[in-house]
Chain A
Amino acid sequence: MKHIDAEQLILYYYGERDETENRAAVETHLAVCRLCRGEYEVLARTLAAVSSLPIPDRAATYGEEVWQRLAPRLRDRDASSAPNDTGRKPAPQSRWLDFFAWPRLALGGALAALLVAAFLAGRYWQGPKSPAAPAPEPVSAQARDRVLLSAVADHMERSEILLRELENAGEGGGRQIDISLQREQAQELAAGSRLYEQAAQQAGETGISNLLDDLNRVLLTVAHSPSTVSRAELVELRSRIEGPGILFKLQVVNSGIEQRLKPAPERPGPSSVQD
């Protein structure tokens, strides 16, 4: 008798639609197999424990409070895009929004530059020459490479989300499509892209470096597009994104990086054990 593997049990627990056909078979098996029933019970208890996680309460007036904080920021944003500013003091921004706010371009580049500088310094710095001076604990080459790979993977993932957003932008909407936000994000990402490419090249990651080069071209295309585009212009922009097959390449390379960053394999579950 073939047991039910851990993944099938998860899908069964959640009642996934594509597993409907298998439900009856799973139920029949669970009724007769003590081992799988035990596995399922542990899974159900685990997920029930997750459901017990409390959420801080929010009063019925919470929506109003959110609006009170949001409204001045919306007005400030409108005012800052208008030709004559009133000089009103801008509303306080949240901590991470500050981090992402203007100047995105400079910040994106600065972060990448910091990472690249740290990476290259670690790669080429040989430590103090004098034997008397205690050398600081060196960062291992493995740790440095993981920092770079993790940052590059993050950069690629953000770029992929941006490009996918453009692929889905304006579906069923009006004639003019506002892509100003995507344009700003592309500017920010392009600023970092070149530096990541340089670091990848230095690290001997030629495949990643070539992909970052292709990605940079696509990001610059988006960054130099107008804030509002017509449907025809959007189609043209999409074809320029899809042309070099960048989304597919990003997925492939990113999944390769994820594999490399993966921790040591975990204890195997009860998958497909034969009686």
Chain B
Amino acid sequence: MEQADEAAVALAQAGDEDAFRSLVERHSRAIFRLAFRMTGNEQDAEDVVQEAFLRAHQRLRQFESRANFGTWLHRVAVNCALDFMRVRRRHESGREEIDSVGADGTRPLPSEDPAPDRLVFGAEVQQRVAGVLAGLAPKERAAFVLRHFEEMSIEEISRTMGVQADAAKNSIFRAVRKLRKELEPMVTR
């Protein structure tokens, strides 16, 4: 795929629309998976996919031919998703802060804690996972998704997100701590 990408990128950089189309067709599913894991919402993920390819097209001339196009595109998509999550969070938090911020400044997780006897491992665990992920800060979620699902090293994550390695590491730690806190009662039953 890398060789095919290399040739297509060279042509697309010269303005060949079909070449860019082949790149879009080849990478769309992977970018959708990443976007869905980052945003947790199908429609939002579709928007991130569109924006990622728009930005990629606009910045294609900045892309170095010796780099890996897939990696570069992932980086563009991660930043689109982060931008998206920040905007969404700002809107939600602005509303929530004024409407219902708790005395201790914490925000409740989206899903309620069901009684242990009603838990069914499977759908409910997934629902809880989605709830915890939705409650993570954008940086925490992005770093965690890149580590857990995309299997990037902390070094790669820090480069992709443009943050220090320690910041990426701490974001992952925070995300895992929150997931563990919420999921432990379910996974240890």
Q: Check A161–B79 contact: CB distance below 8 A.
A: yes
Cα A164 to Cα B122 in complex, Å, equals 42
Q: How far is the CB of A145 from chain B (nearest CB, A)?
A: 10
Q: Check A165–B180 contact: CB distance below 8 A.
A: no
Q: Check A94–B90 contact: CB distance below 8 A.
A: no
Q: Scan B101-129; emit 1 where CB is below 8 A from any A CB, else 0.
A: 10011110000000000000010011001
Q: Count how many chain A residues have C-beta atoms less than 8 Å from C-beta atoms of the other chain.
A: 74
Q: Check A42–B94 contact: CB distance below 8 A.
A: no
Q: Check A74–B126 contact: CB distance below 8 A.
A: no
| A140 cross-chain contacts in B, Cβ below 8 A | 101
Q: Check A150–B47 contact: CB distance below 8 A.
A: no
Q: Scan A159-202; emit 1 where CB is below 8 A from any B CB, else 0.
A: 01100110011111110011011000000000000000000000
> Chain B interface secondary structure, helix, strand, loop or mixed?
helix
> Chain A interface secondary structure, helix, strand, loop or mixed?
helix
Cα A49 to Cα B119 in complex, Å, equals 14
Q: Scan B153-186; emit 1 where CB is below 8 A from any A CB, else 0.
A: 1110000001010000100110011111101101
Q: Which of A24-32, A55-63, A204-212, A216-224 participates in binding chain B?
A: A55-63
Cα A46 to Cα B188 in complex, Å, equals 9
Q: Check A6–B177 contact: CB distance below 8 A.
A: yes
| A142 cross-chain contacts in B, Cβ below 8 A | 101, 105
Known: A50-B179, A63-B25, A115-B94. A181 touches B148 (CB 8 A): no
| A6 cross-chain contacts in B, Cβ below 8 A | 173, 177
Q: Check A178–B59 contact: CB distance below 8 A.
A: yes
Q: Count how many chain B residues have C-beta atoms less than 8 Å from C-beta atoms of the other chain.
A: 78
Partner of A143, one of B97, B169, B178: B97
Q: From A150, which residue of chain B is reached at the shortest CB distance?
A: B93
Q: Check A151–B90 contact: CB distance below 8 A.
A: yes
Q: Check A17–B153 contact: CB distance below 8 A.
A: yes
Partner of B162, one of A71, A164, A174: A164
Known: A47-B176, A147-B94. A158 touches B83 (CB 8 A): yes
Residue of B26, B28, B55 with most partner-chain A CB within 10 A: B28
Q: How far is the CB of A140 from chain B (nearest CB, A)?
A: 8
Q: Check A42–B129 contact: CB distance below 8 A.
A: no
Cα A169 to Cα B28 in complex, Å, equals 25
Given A48-B187, A100-B87, A181-B59, 10 other A-B contacts at CB below 8 A? A45-B187, A46-B179, A51-B148, A56-B36, A64-B25, A70-B50, A71-B17, A146-B105, A178-B61, A251-B164
The 7 closest A-B pairs by CB, nearest first: A63-B25, A94-B47, A63-B28, A263-B106, A45-B187, A172-B64, A164-B162
12 contacts between A and B (CB under 8 A): A10-B173, A14-B147, A17-B153, A42-B187, A47-B176, A50-B148, A70-B54, A73-B54, A94-B51, A96-B44, A143-B97, A157-B86
